[in-house]
Chains A and B, each alone.
Chain A
Amino acid sequence: MDRWLLAFAFVTVAALGIAAQASRTVWDGLYTEEQAARGEMLYTERCSKCHGDTLGGQEAAPALTGPSFYSNWEGENLEKLLDRIRMTMPQDKPGSLSRAQNADILAHMLHVGGFPAGPMPLDGQAGALSTVTIRMYKP
């Protein structure tokens, strides 16, 4: 193949890849079932005391699923939700969970929220989720 054509093809594919990345939403299968199961165990241990066994919330802490929760996060990027969890939770020991653990908990939240699982686990590394948009309804 012509060297220039190859370069063009490469750039095009890369650009398409970036475009695909930029338009990702929580509907794109961003976590694995296994990760969500790990997240559920962590959630039960560290989060459910305030947010409830089923993420339904209680007087002292809001629900982490359902239309009102997702209304409040509609259009935000998933990185911000992960950061919010990472910096402020659990309230009795904020910052005590690792990035990977927080990503597992977020996977559990997405699972309960009804968003599909996929082949790859949710990536908790800084910046990895900044191109994922939270959408209540499937785009």
Chain B
Amino acid sequence: MTRTLRTGKVAVAAMTAIVLAATAGLHGQSGAKKGEWPTYGGDLGHTRYAPLDQITAANFGQLEVKWRFKTDNLGPRPEFNLESTPLMVNGRLYSTAGTRRSVVALDAATGELIWVHGENEGARGAAAPRQLSGRGLAYWTDGKEERILYVTPGYRLVALDAKTGNPVPGFGRNGLVDLKEDFDKQKLDLVNAPVGLHSTPIVGGNLVLVGAAFETGANPRSRANVRGAVRAFDVRTGKLVWTFRTIPQPGDFGNETWENDSWAYSGNTGVWAQISVDEELGMAYLPVELPTHDYYGGARPGNTLFAESLVAVDLKTGVRKWHFQLVHHGIWDMDIPCAPILADVVVNGRPVKVVAQPSKQGFLYVFDRVTGQPIWPIEERAVPQGDTPGEKYSRTQPFPTRPLAYERQGLAVDDLIDFTPELRAEALKLIEKYKIGPVFTPPVVSKAEGPIATLAMSTQAPATNWPGGSFDPETHVLYVHSNAQVAQLGLVPPPEGAAPDVRYHQGTALAGARRTGGSGSATTNAQGGNINGIDVRGLPIIKPPYSKINAINLDTGDFVWQVPHGETPDAVKNNPALKGLNIPRTGRNGAIGTLVTKTLVIAGEPGYGPTPSGARGSMLRAYDKRTGADAGAVYMPAPQSGSPMTYTLNGKQYIVVAISGGTYSGELVAFALPN
């Protein structure tokens, strides 16, 4: 069922206003061109860079809202988690939005609605594992035709005429390709099969590439699930061109890494993060997630390629060119969460095309993107082994030697809160019943008498999540936001009858008898007081910063700067235990995407927090990209929930960011300087 809304007058005016792009290959690896933002990541290499310079440190604080677009009525109810990065091409701004993941085309100067397209997928939409508005869409043109492509919550690939919003008749069946069909020879229930996608498709070389996402994997109902695979479709016809199997079947390279024939039933191992493309090299870079079960691998012994691997494939054929497994036999939920960033840099005087992969574990992995060779050595090192029954641990894991981890990993006594000796003592007491250790310390079977769980940063509570990073092609500096948060990695038996062939679910013994398939992580009351949590008097058990932006020179692997991101949260600032202490800016936790311009790094603060006026909201912040120094901030009524993008139209630079959260429903906000 398709409903396309448009007003005739607007549509006609818009049709006459279209100025088509001269070439199809306009999105390279060096940032957004021509003042536009034609792909999710600004370019196909996800640099999130635009060489625009009207908005600077001198005037950032003067930014004002030029328009807002509220998304409440694009579905049957408002949405409070708008994660889109919109596109801007030829004066039009395109975005997904609303609870049904509708697509809107707006006038990029005024925010006026030009057209809207939505799919009411009924039961199929309601059963989707990845609901709501998703992260955005893709744009394609051959110089004449223009198309918008996106994936619905129910996992259908839709091609729309960018001028009108109407489905393209020659694409698939009336503009739609059912992604649950022809999916690596799997017979899937078209309504209930739990597969979807919330990231955007990517278009390169006249192909549209699509990954797969599933229900989150802490508490699977079975060791078996739908297998992830990456597919490429002809952008003109919607015809399937190739499939890359992320779980190799018999005869495929890597099949033997799935011991006990676990390839036969294991699922997931999808690519739910953004894929990157190098059209010049004719390569696509696939960031792959874990196999079924995020924390227990007893049912899938072996290294299980291509789980948690960065895989480079031939763009035209999908044939593997190289791969690198970042985590062997993963049991930490370290699936690769964000776009591989394609960067052209100079290492030891030699120009080299690299791919840099930020990660949940806080390592930045950097490879020659032609050959897959690490730019700096990545060493296999022995890692702690566990004693969970039925688990078969990998004895070693890959450790990048450069750059060093950009966020804290694992947990050590030195990481614990130290505002006062009393707080440190409480933290030490608290961890007595927990296991702590360096990165790759395995989860434990939870016992009330201890160990209750393994405590670790940069795992399930990730250093970097789906928004990923940015790269400046002029200075060769990569920017990435990261969080320091402690997760509890404990294993408990699943609830009776909930998952007959699964030995453990994530949880802790303290949470009591398990009742549902939901997580049993221990928790805290409003002030962080103990029900059985790991906060210390309402404060994080670790010392700040709780989040920061990291600037890393990709020519050398050196850190240029690291600054806390986000004003100190109220829960810390007003905490009675810290009365009289001067707490410097701590940063706040959240999934935050960055934007780089000619002079600035721009990112919204995570979550609600103190604002200069005292109004409830959050600040959009700018930093001097060379030094990390504050370069201005502007108020937003809700925190950034998508990643900011920028463009120039009629001589004016705009910054658009999706905001939402708490009581504030999804909204696109466009900032520009006063006239």
Q: Which of B79, B80, B527, B531 contacts A112 (CB 8 A)?
A: B531
Q: Residue B382 at the A interface, CB < 8 A? A: no
| Interface mask (B558-572 → A, CB under 8 Å = 1, otherwise 0) | 000000000001110
Report yes or no: B460 in contact with A49, Cβ–Cβ below 8 A: no
Q: Residue A131 at the B interface, CB < 8 A? A: no
B559 to chain A, nearest CB (A): 27
Q: Which of A52, A95, A137 contacts B518 (CB 8 A)?
A: A52
A111 to chain B, nearest CB (A): 9
Q: List chain B residues, Cβ under 8 A from A83.
A: 663
Q: Residue A2 at the B interface, CB < 8 A? A: no
Among B84-92, B225-233, B262-270, B508-516, the one that faces the other chain is B508-516
Q: List chain B residues, Cβ under 8 A from A70.
A: 526-527, 571
Among A16-24, A31-39, A59-67, the one that faces the other chain is A59-67
Report yes or no: B511 in contact with A66, Cβ–Cβ below 8 A: no
Tell me the residues in window 27-58 of chain A with beta carbons closer than 8 Å to chain B beta carbons. 44, 48-58
Task: Indicate whether A71 sits within 8 Å of B608 (C-beta atoms), given known contacts A60-B215, A76-B662, A113-B526.
Answer: yes
Among A3-11, A86-94, A120-128, the one that faces the other chain is A86-94
Report yes or no: B662 in contact with A66, Cβ–Cβ below 8 A: no
Q: List chain A residues, Cβ under 8 A from B216.
A: 58-60
The closest CB in chain B to the CB of A79 belongs to B663
Q: List chain A residues, Cβ under 8 A from B538.
A: 67
Q: Which of B78, B126, B515, B523 contacts A65 (CB 8 A)?
A: B523
Task: Indicate whether A94 sits within 8 Å of B77 (C-beta atoms), given known contacts A60-B216, A84-B663, A137-B574.
Answer: yes
The range of chain B's interface size is: 35 or more
Q: List chain B residues, Cβ under 8 A from A92.
A: 126-127
| Interface mask (B634-675 → A, CB under 8 Å = 1, otherwise 0) | 000000000000000000000000000111000000000000
Report yes or no: A48 in contact with B524, Cβ–Cβ below 8 A: no
Q: List chain B residues, Cβ under 8 A from A14.
A: none
Report yes or no: B571 in contact with A67, Cβ–Cβ below 8 A: yes
The interface centre, meaning the residue of A53, A55, A60, A81 with most chain B CB atoms within 10 A of its CB, is: A53
Q: List chain B residues, Cβ under 8 A from A74.
A: 570, 608
Report yes or no: B570 in contact with A136, Cβ–Cβ below 8 A: yes
Q: Residue B362 at the A interface, CB < 8 A? A: no
Q: Residue A98 at the B interface, CB < 8 A? A: no
Report yes or no: B519 in contact with A67, Cβ–Cβ below 8 A: no
Report yes or no: B570 in contact with A48, Cβ–Cβ below 8 A: no
Report yes or no: B518 in contact with A49, Cβ–Cβ below 8 A: yes
Task: Indicate whether A52 sits within 8 Å of B77 (C-beta atoms), given known contacts A70-B526, A114-B526.
Answer: no
Q: List chain A residues, Cβ under 8 A from B77.
A: 87-88, 94-95
Report yes or no: A114 in contact with B518, Cβ–Cβ below 8 A: no
Q: List chain B residues, Cβ under 8 A from A99.
A: none
A53 to chain B, nearest CB (A): 5
A114 to chain B, nearest CB (A): 3
Q: Which of B514, B533, B662 contacts A72 (CB 8 A)?
A: B662
Task: Indicate whether A49 sits within 8 Å of B517 (C-beta atoms), given known contacts A66-B535, A74-B608.
Answer: yes
B608 to chain A, nearest CB (A): 5
Question: Interface of B with A (CB < 8 Å)?
Answer: 76-80, 99, 126-127, 131, 215-216, 218-219, 294, 333, 460, 507, 511-512, 514-529, 531, 533, 535, 538-539, 569-571, 574, 576, 589, 607-609, 616, 661-663
Enumerate 5 A-B pairs (CB-CB under 8 Å) in ascending A order.
A44-B515, A53-B516, A66-B533, A67-B535, A84-B663
